[in-house]
Chains A and B, each alone.
Chain A
Amino acid sequence: MINYFKYIGKYFIMLKEVFKRPQKGSIFRESIFKEIEDLGINSIGIVAFISFFVGGVVVIQTALNLDNPITPKYLIGYASRESLILEFSPTLISIILAGKVGSYITSSIGTMRVTEQIDALEVMGINSLNYLVLPKIIANVFFYPFVIIISIWLGIFGGWVAGNLTGLVSSADYIMGIRSEFEPFHLVYSMIKTSVFAFVIATIPAYQGFYVKGGAIEVGKASTRAVVWTSIVIIVLNYFLTQMLLGK
């Protein structure tokens, strides 16, 4: 148990180093754009694919569970929209990104550690944590909300396609459902969650990679640990954020 407190303490000490003023603005900006491409733009494909099909599955399952003739069909669209905005896109996609992006961050930083590239930065007088991790945090926190908006949109679109192809819900009913009783705060809640999860996806894997010791096998183990812990922290934070932001 005492070890967990040690890790948490070390994580916050790492964050203190990360959030120092970057040594050179032009290099920092360059790094942010590179990270946006590596961590954000390169994730859009998988996010789009998963969101489209899961949107379809959500509509089919909701339609099959709302088979009472009294229940209006537009509720299928409404329920699908709400589940995509509130939970599926911000949380499930974040867990998928914890796997894809988290393992990438840990293995790239971990490899730099075991091949002494981080030592090379330190010897030059560069704050390696700030140089390597801060651009990743900024890229994640500011770009992931866009990824999640794409996910929500494609999920809803996938639902519409599935509803039409299966004949479970008409286009008119579905569109009416997704437009009815829209609560803008739910979108705000979704974006807040996304930004918090994006921070976690950047920092926990960076921590695991930065402090890795050994060689290739240890980097692999650190990547696995990073994905596991990032997913756990996302699930726990999801509960507390929901309680704080939506709980009465």
Chain B
Amino acid sequence: MIEVRNLNKEFDGVQVLKGIDATFENGKTSLVIGTSGSGKTVFLKCLLGLIQPEKGDIIYDGQIYNEMSNNEKRDLKKDIGMVFQGSALFDSSTVEENVMFPLKMFTNQPYEEKLERVNFVLDRVNLQNANKKFPAELSGGMQKRVAIARAIVMNPKYLFCDEPNSGLDPKTSTVIDNLIQEITKEYNITTIINSHDMNSVMEIGEKIILLKHGVKEWEGTNDEVFKTDNESLVDFVYSSNLFKKVREAQLRQDNSGS
């Protein structure tokens, strides 16, 4: 479980995160949504320790991140998997080398064992026969799958994804969303996803947090999204014509029912 208490971050006098409190539970897929510039990526980078917040605590299973020693932080990071927006694969390494990298760095397993684990996770993300390919030879969706495979190869307790669907077609996005959710359930991982993709919200968002101008505007489940009166969330969700029509249809159905 990850708890966030009163998280504040500013850049050059501009407050980017303003007193955010949140809790992310094990085995659940939580989504942080918001428009571009709402502070989602900064929030995620604070959780990962890539950016130091000015104020507030991030608590990993009862341990306050800022109070951990360097060794404790290093150990914690072995339990973290991250899927970056642009996949962040090492472009001069093959798929196999990319996925094997954390194993080479942090374990003393013989090569055969490492290879077995790599093949297992690549199989898990439905990516066979790509071991010797370089990232530039893969499609966006395949790159994301390699990134997920690399993120889970060490059996992490926490999985972070920064807009995992950006640049992908709707069908591939759904495949990636489902894959993340399956892995979350299968390994009881605490998964936090930054997204502005409403399909992801509806498909896998067991818990949703809306950020607006660095403030937590709303928190709830995907079932509650369509029923809320929160103006910021309504604005965000129904900026898409498709969802506008879905909401109108639902309201019509509710009215006729009552």
A-to-B contact residues, CB < 8 Å = 23-24, 27, 111, 115-117, 119-120, 122-126
Contact = CB atoms under 8 A, between A and B. Distances in A.
A80 to B, nearest CB: 41
A220 to B, nearest CB: 18
* Residue from B76, B91, B101, B105 whose CB has the most chain A CB atoms within 10 Å: B105
A21 to B, nearest CB: 12
Contacts of A123: 48-50, 77, 80, 82, 160
Interface in B65-93: 73-78, 80, 82, 84-86, 88-91
B82 A125 contact: no
Contacts of A124: 77-78, 80, 101-102, 105-106
B88 A125 contact: no
A122 B91 contact: no
27 contacts: A24-B105, A27-B104, A27-B105, A115-B86, A116-B84, A116-B86, A116-B88, A117-B88, A117-B89, A117-B90, A117-B91, A119-B45, A119-B50, A119-B82, A119-B84, A122-B50, A123-B50, A123-B80, A123-B160, A124-B80, A124-B101, A124-B102, A125-B74, A125-B75, A125-B76, A125-B78, A125-B106
Contacts of B90: 117, 120
B38 to A, nearest CB: 19
Contacts of B77: 123-125
Contacts of A111: 91
Contacts of B85: 116
Interface residues of B, number: 25
A123 B76 CA distance: 10
Contacts of B86: 115-116
Given A27-B104, A125-B77, A126-B105, A120 B84 contact: yes
A83 B152 CA distance: 58
Contacts of B76: 125
The 5 closest A-B pairs by CB, nearest first: A125-B77, A116-B88, A120-B88, A125-B74, A123-B82
Given A119-B50, A123-B77, A125-B106, 16 more contacts: A24-B104, A27-B104, A115-B91, A116-B85, A117-B89, A119-B45, A120-B84, A122-B49, A123-B82, A124-B78, A124-B101, A124-B105, A125-B75, A125-B77, A125-B78, A126-B105
A111 B88 CA distance: 11
Contacts of A125: 73-78, 106
A120 B91 contact: no
A120 B87 CA distance: 9
B151 to A, nearest CB: 9
A130 B90 CA distance: 17
Nearest to A30: B104
Given A123-B82, A124-B77, A125-B74, A115 B104 contact: no
A112 B123 CA distance: 27
Contacts of A115: 86, 88, 91
Contacts of B102: 124
Nearest to B75: A125
Contacts of B45: 119
B82 to A, nearest CB: 4
A27 to B, nearest CB: 6
Given A120-B82, A125-B73, A23 B88 contact: no
B250 to A, nearest CB: 39
Interface string B88-114: 111100000000011011100000000
Interface in B142-172: 160
B116 to A, nearest CB: 19
Interface in B102-135: 102, 104-106
B184 to A, nearest CB: 18
A125 B65 CA distance: 14
A165 B198 CA distance: 77
Nearest to A23: B105
Contacts of A120: 82, 84, 88, 90
A120 B90 CA distance: 9
B123 to A, nearest CB: 22
